[in-house]
C-alpha cells in the first residue's frame, strides 16, 4: 500500500511557507490506517517494547492501536495541567517560545522498554522532551516510530542514540 497516497499536503497552513502534511485522510481510510499501524507495531515488536508512549495528541492516534496490537500498555504524554495524579514535567524550546509536557510519574516503571510513537518528526523538540520524561521515570527508550519524517528539518539528528523508524520521509 502506498501510504503517501493518503497524506494530503496543504500549502501555507497554518501559516505562509508551511507545507502541512494532513494525516486525516489516512486515518479515515481503515485499510491505510490498519497498514500504518501494523508497520509501526512491527517496529515496536522488533524492539521488544513493554510500553508505548505517545505525545499529545496525534501520538495518541497511532500509539494506542500499536499498544493494543502488541498487548502492552499505552501512556499518554500531555500538556501540563491535563493529568490528575503526580506528574513529571519537561520544558522544551519552540521556534517562538517554550512549551512543556507532562506524564504520570507512576505509569512508567523502572526498566520498562519503551517505544515512543508519534505522527510526525519535524525538528524533534516534542520527542526530545518525551524521551527525557520517560528516562526521568526510569524507562528505557528502545525506539522511536513515526508515520512521517520531514527530513529537511533534521530532527532525526537529535536522536543518534535511539533507533528511529519513519514510514514516510518527505
Q: What is the pLDDT of residue 96?
A: 74
Tens digits of residue pLDDT in 31-65: 999 999 999 999 999 999 999 999 999 999 999 99
Alpha helices in the chain (DSSP H): 24-28, 30-46, 58-70, 125-136
Which residue in 31, 58, 78, 86 is the catalytic one? 58
Residue 141, all three cell numbers: 527508550
Tens digits of residue pLDDT in 67-117: 999 999 999 999 999 999 999 999 998 767 899 999 999 999 999 999 999
Number of domains in the chain: 1
58 catalytic per annotation = yes
Q: What is the pLDDT of residue 22?
A: 98
Indicate the pLDDT class of residue 1, thresholds 50, 70 and 90. Answer: very high
129 touches 90 (CB < 8 A): yes
The answer to whether position 32 is within a domain reads no
Q: What CATH number is attached to the domain comprising 85?
A: 3.40.50.2020
- Looking at the chain, the number of H-run helices and the number of E-run strands are 4, 9
Domain that holds residue 53: 37-169
The answer to whether position 1 is within a domain reads no
Q: What is the pLDDT of residue 109?
A: 97
The DSSP bridge pattern shows strands 73-77 and 51-55 to be parallel
User: Does the pLDDT value for residue 30 go beyond 80?
Assistant: yes
The answer to whether position 68 is within a domain reads yes
The answer to whether position 17 is within a domain reads no
User: Does the pLDDT value for residue 160 go beyond 80?
Assistant: yes
Which residue in 85, 86, 95, 98 is the catalytic one? 95
Q: What is the pTM of this model?
A: 0.97
Amino acid at each position: 500500500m502506498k501510504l503517501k497516497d493518503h497524506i494530503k499536503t496543504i500549502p501555507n497552513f497554518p501559516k505562509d511557507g508551511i507545507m502541512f502534511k494532513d494525516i486525516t485522510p489516512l486515518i479515515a481510510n481503515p485499510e491505510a490506517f490498519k497498514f500504518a499501524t501494523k508497520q509501526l507495531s512491527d517496529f515496536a515488536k522488533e524492539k521488544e517494547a513493554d510500553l508505548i508512549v505517545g505525545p499529545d495528541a496525534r501520538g495518541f492516534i497511532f500509539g494506542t492501536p500499536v499498544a493494543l496490537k502488541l498487548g502492552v500498555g499505552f501512556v499518554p504524554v500531555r500538556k501540563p495541567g491535563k493529568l490528575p495524579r503526580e506528574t513529571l514535567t519537561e520544558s522544551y524550546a519552540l521556534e517562538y517560545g517554550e512549551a512543556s509536557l507532562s506524564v504520570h510519574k507512576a505509569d512508567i516503571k523502572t526498566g520498562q522498554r519503551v517505544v515512543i510513537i508519534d505522527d510526525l518528526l519535524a525538528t524533534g523538540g516534542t520527542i526530545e522532551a518525551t524521551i527525557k520524561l520517560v528516562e526521568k521515570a526510569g524507562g528505557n527508550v528502545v525506539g522511536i516510530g513515526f508515520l512521517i519524517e520531514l527530513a529537511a528539518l533534521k530532527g532525526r539528528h537529535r536522536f543518534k542514540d535511539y533507533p528511529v523508524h519513519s514510514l514516510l520521509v518527505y
